[in-house]
Structure 1
Amino acid sequence: MSAQPPSSLSTDDAPPVAVTNATSELKQPPAEKPSDIRRRGYVILSFWLIVLLLGLPIWWKTTTIYRADLPLQEMLDWSDGKACRPVFPLRISIQANSLQDQEAQNLLRLTQHALDDLNDFAGHHLRLQLSPPLGDEATSATNNGSALTIRLSPGEATTATLDPYEPTLDITYPPNNIPSPTASSSALATYVASQLRSTFGEEQATISYLLSTNSMPSEHRPLGLSPETVESLAKRTTRSLKYSPTYHLTFSLFTSGALPSSWDIETAIEEYMKPVLDVLSPIHNFTIDTQVQLYAAPGVQNDVLQKQDLSSFINAAEWPLSPSIGGAPTINFIVFVGNQTIVTSPESESSQSWLIPQWGTVYLLSQPWDTTHVSTETLKQPLLTFTSHLFSLLGTPQSGSLPLRLSTLTRIRSADLLLRASSTLGSLARLALALPSISIPSSVADGVSKTMTHLRLACDNLGGLDGLEHARIAEAEAERAFFEKSMVGQLFFPDEHKIAVYLPLLGPVAVPLIMGAINEFKAWRKRRREKAEKGAEKKKE
């Protein structure tokens, strides 16, 4: 018999082996050392500390919009007319050489009372003062700092004559019109007061109109004006240019053909216009250039121009008009040599020229077809017309003598610039309050500070050239601060755009930090729970 394996057992007969326990009980990783747990916690904590103590401050510092401190309430006070109420104290000198000192003082007192009764605008103070009985030159308004000098002299009737070239008002009176020392009123005093009111009436109306159109509270506004006066002043304001210390005057000769090809414009300007420019020099500076343009076709082809044709006469597409030089506004004076004529109503002041608001003047000059040169004498009337229109474009009052008109222009421009600068300050303050996220650079704060400094100086010196200069600087600084480039750009940078920029950057950084902190917190809770269970089992044993 073949030998069988000594202990050969079939698979079916083999005893069961504990395979289930071996496969069910997976091999567990070794327990973490306490030092490793602490190290992992320190690593996560260090990342969070870097983010919170270093990353967030740097991000906050580099992304925070800088807002310089602005005196917002003071700016609003200027805008509302609380910081300065424009007041123009004008001194009027009375020269009465033929009166005794007591009679002159009594007349001055009665005239001042009559003037105060007639004046319904507190912002325009006319204060009378008695001049010493000296010569005319020593007591003129230009020498004693007065806005006007009244020269009283005896005569047969009561008359008043305003000197066209000096700020002097000559008044004659009958000798029996001198008030007695005990009189409470006087016909002569009332007459002088009415003449002063008439002389400065246009100035008072203009300043009153400026204040009424400004955003001042109702209690600071002057009394109302008639609709006709308001309409006239509105037209003048629309016609005149914005104030500038310098204007550029461009004189152009445009011809529809090859002739004329030259003109004596330099000589004509020197003879007919330069004296006026010299008179205006304390208020404005002027630069001048000239040009000749041949074959200049107008925008209309009609020989007879109707009123509606005037707006399209200037062919701006083909006429090389000089632009502004050095930032100064340009005033264009054009002499067009052609056969065009203007058909206007009989009450129109001219049928050869017309004024274009805030732009200049066009003068149509008719010359024989073979004229090759325009002489100085031929240019006399165009230059005189340009001079008259220049006053209108500068906003000069229409009534009164030339010195009074220029001094009035100084005061009107000072008030206009002061009100515009104050209004700009108020707009800037309201903008800063309405948009808390807008950037306010330090240059804006410096501009606001300079504006308010010069506004205060302008308010204290209204009526003179110093006040005009301070008001001009204040208006320029206020405009520069309001239109600061870096600040205006923030108006078009909404918060939604910031979120769209930051989320793609912060998301990948924040997710690992947050998930790591959550997992570490769960592991800590698990260890704490297991430790609590072991402690409970030990207590049971």
Structure 2
Amino acid sequence: MALKKEETSDDFAKVEDNNDARRVYAAISFVVVLIVIGLPLWWETTDVYRVPLPYSRIAALDSLDVTLAMNISITTLDAARGDKLIEDLKDILKTSKLFQFTFRALPLEKKHFALAHSPEGLESGSFHPRKSGELFLLEVPGLTRFTPNHVMVGLKRTVYFSSEATAVKLSEVLELLLLREKSLRQMVAAMTTPTETDQDRSGRRRMPAAEEYDIMMTVVNPEPEKLQIDWDLPEAVQDYLEPFLYELSPLAGYTVKSQWLYFVTLNVQPKLVIDTSGFGHQHYALAEDLLPQIITPLEKKLASRVSRNPCLNFVVYIPPCEAAPLHIYTRQGVRVKGGVDAFLSPRWGGIVIHNPSHMVCHNSSVPEPKEYSPDTVAIMGVFLAQLRLLMGIPELEGISRVGQLPLSTVSLRQWEFDSLLRMRTLEQLTSAKLTLQSLSQLLGKISNIVINDAVGNSIYQVVDCVERAAHLLKIGQLDEAFNESKKAFLSAEAAFTDPSLLALLYFPDDQKYAVYIPLFLPVMIPVVMSLKNICAWFSGRMCSKHKLKKE
């Protein structure tokens, strides 16, 4: 009987031991499922997807050296004079922080001047540089016979100078008109530190870089029931504006729109002025101080905000006969020079006041509405001049004894286009770098912003394009550098404005934990507490095995 009782207690102990083992193994399975498998799976599925970014390369862009290589060829009749001019120009321009000049002397035979009886005749020669960014300085014997100027800037990439021109005068033309280094540096500094640096007058009125611009042509007729305008506006745009925009098309795209506004006034009260010359003529004077008050109410009617592209507004205002002629007067009480009543608003556009003729308004034999045909050449000429200023085309300012050959067609001078290329390249490079650095700081500080593959690829493309553009500028490849800077600019804008960056900003990490902890905590507490029993069970098993070995 004792043996049977002993066997029964041993069986009971084995059953209890097996039950404990099953409970422990069940607890271990819960631990494995929840902690080993569940937690990593939860962490992986709730983790924000972020493509690794080249933060070090982005930071290095701030110290990227951007230097513009400039090849200048000089031709003189006397080789010694040419060498002296090159040495003097090198000495004057050695302080440049933006350009790296390379001068070389080229021979030119006198037969090239045989058929040229004026500077305009030299434009048909085959010696002009064809590569963007290069310049050719050509000495023309007897240049003062055709012009009082010592230097004439051609339509292509050539500057003609007389035998009396000095290196100082040529350097002024290079610095103030053709290269405009000071303006370029001010533009970059104003973009980098906008609160500390201001741009020059040209930079303040120039439109910022964009992929495409809208050009809105508007004709304002306040009293159509009295004055009917007979003007083919689409034909005027096609004849004058489209050829000019075609030459600007490598820089950006342009979309021209037109509209007619009726029963719209200027919302200002001009002053009646009586002519004291004895003829009894009278006109209305619009003070220069009132011009800003015209744009604000007029802009509400222009419908220029139907597109996300920057818009240039060109407005033709035709006063009614009762308020004509209307002329603009300066703050000094003097009528504006040139006989053209127009003004320019920086980064907005321009307005032309085109008065109907005296014959139309005072012809009592013609019933109302009277018909009037505006002067297309005068109006479009003003708009083209304003467009040149708004796009940043440099103008000849204050250099004595320096002139430029007049344009015979609606076109750009080649050196003007090169100047635009340099300006847009630096502007787009600087904008891309600043946008990329701002985005890098934002993504580094906010860890729950999604960085998908598209955004990551755009950021890598920006870095690559900026580095390639800087290299191309350094070796004098201006066209290719502009293309790379444009890619960098557009990619940076696309990455910065990508909608996916805002996907999880409304759900930060603290809210994520606040949502999931109440779900997991009640389940995890028993599992965590069972770890103590698991450890105790395994330690008991180890102790019992150790005792058996000793026995």
The 1:171/1:45 distance shift into structure 2, 3 A limit, reads same
Q: Offset at 1:72?
A: 0.9
Per the alignment, residue 88 of structure 1 pairs with 68
Per the alignment, residue 108 of structure 1 pairs with 82
Structure-1 separation of matches of 2:513 and 2:131: 68
Gaps of 5+ in 2: 1-11, 113-121, 272-285, 362-367, 397-402, 405-412
SS at match of 1:170: strand
TM-score by length of 1: 0.75
Per the alignment, residue 171 of structure 1 pairs with 161
Structure-1 separation of matches of 2:304 and 2:190: 34
Counterpart pick for 1:474 among 488, 500, 504: 488
Structure-1 separation of matches of 2:254 and 2:128: 26
Per the alignment, residue 161 of structure 1 pairs with 151
Counterpart pick for 2:461 among 423, 427, 450: 450
The 1:374/1:470 distance shift into structure 2, 3 A limit, reads farther
Given that residues 91 and 146 in structure 1 are in contact (C-alpha distance below 8 angstroms), is that contact kept between their aligned partners in structure 2?
yes
User: Is 2:350 the partner of 1:361?
Assistant: yes
Per the alignment, residue 321 of structure 1 pairs with 303
Per the alignment, residue 395 of structure 2 pairs with 398
Structure-1 separation of matches of 2:133 and 2:55: 38
Q: Which amino acid aligns with 1:210?
A: M
Per the alignment, residue 269 of structure 2 pairs with 302
The 1:354/1:490 distance shift into structure 2, 3 A limit, reads farther
The 1:112/1:371 distance shift into structure 2, 3 A limit, reads farther
User: Is 2:446 the partner of 1:461?
Assistant: no
User: Is 2:231 the partner of 1:263?
Assistant: yes
196-205 or 107-116, which deviates more = 196-205
Q: Which amino acid aligns with 2:509?
A: D
Q: Structure 1 vs Structure 2: percent identity of aligned residues?
A: 23
Given that residues 89 and 171 in structure 2 are in contact (C-alpha distance below 8 angstroms), is that contact kept between their aligned partners in structure 1?
yes
Structure-2 separation of matches of 1:482 and 1:44: 50
Given that residues 336 and 365 in structure 1 are in contact (C-alpha distance below 8 angstroms), is that contact kept between their aligned partners in structure 2?
yes
Structure-2 separation of matches of 1:156 and 1:473: 44
Q: Which amino acid aligns with 2:484?
A: H
Q: Offset at 1:289?
A: 2.2
Q: Deviations over 1:203-255 (max 9, x none)?
A: 11112213434549xxxxxxxxxx9xx76x34433322122343222211122
Gaps of 5+ in 1: 1-29, 175-187, 217-226, 536-541
Q: Offset at 1:342?
A: 4.2
SS at match of 2:150: strand
Given that residues 114 and 189 in structure 1 are in contact (C-alpha distance below 8 angstroms), is that contact kept between their aligned partners in structure 2?
no
Structure-1 separation of matches of 2:131 and 2:486: 26
User: Is 2:117 the partner of 1:127?
Assistant: no
Structure-2 separation of matches of 1:436 and 1:111: 60
Given that residues 48 and 450 in structure 2 are in contact (C-alpha distance below 8 angstroms), is that contact kept between their aligned partners in structure 1?
yes
Structure-1 separation of matches of 2:66 and 2:35: 56
Given that residues 244 and 284 in structure 1 are in contact (C-alpha distance below 8 angstroms), is that contact kept between their aligned partners in structure 2?
yes
Q: Deviations over 1:295-329 (max 9, x none)?
A: 2244x25245555543343436862524455x543
SS at match of 2:51: coil
Q: Offset at 1:392?
A: 1.8
Counterpart pick for 1:148 among 109, 127, 135: 135
User: Is 2:514 the partner of 1:500?
Assistant: yes
Q: Which amino acid aligns with 1:467?
A: A
Given that residues 175 and 181 in structure 2 are in contact (C-alpha distance below 8 angstroms), is that contact kept between their aligned partners in structure 1?
no
Given that residues 253 and 292 in structure 1 are in contact (C-alpha distance below 8 angstroms), is that contact kept between their aligned partners in structure 2?
yes
Q: Offset at 1:411?
A: 0.6
Taking only aligned residues, the RMSD between alpha carbons, in angstroms, comes to: 3.7
Note the 1:26-45 alignment, pairs <5 A: 33-45=16-28
The 1:495/1:161 distance shift into structure 2, 3 A limit, reads same
Q: Which amino acid aligns with 1:109?
A: D
Given that residues 306 and 342 in structure 1 are in contact (C-alpha distance below 8 angstroms), is that contact kept between their aligned partners in structure 2?
yes
Structure-2 separation of matches of 1:518 and 1:154: 104
Q: Offset at 1:198?
A: 4.8
419-428 or 192-201, which deviates more = 192-201
Given that residues 76 and 425 in structure 1 are in contact (C-alpha distance below 8 angstroms), is that contact kept between their aligned partners in structure 2?
no
SS at match of 2:37: helix
Per the alignment, residue 37 of structure 2 pairs with 54
The 1:318/1:517 distance shift into structure 2, 3 A limit, reads same
Per the alignment, residue 377 of structure 2 pairs with 380
Q: Deviations over 1:133-163 (max 9, x none)?
A: 2645454434466633222133497962324
Per the alignment, residue 251 of structure 1 pairs with 217
Q: Which has more radius of gyration?
A: 1
The 1:198/1:496 distance shift into structure 2, 3 A limit, reads closer
Q: Offset at 1:374?
A: 4.7
The 1:68/1:279 distance shift into structure 2, 3 A limit, reads closer
Given that residues 248 and 324 in structure 1 are in contact (C-alpha distance below 8 angstroms), is that contact kept between their aligned partners in structure 2?
no
Given that residues 289 and 331 in structure 2 are in contact (C-alpha distance below 8 angstroms), is that contact kept between their aligned partners in structure 1?
no
Q: Offset at 1:417?
A: 0.9
Q: Deviations over 1:402-456 (max 9, x none)?
A: 4333221111111111111122222233333333444322222211221122223
Given that residues 248 and 329 in structure 1 are in contact (C-alpha distance below 8 angstroms), is that contact kept between their aligned partners in structure 2?
yes
The 1:318/1:390 distance shift into structure 2, 3 A limit, reads closer
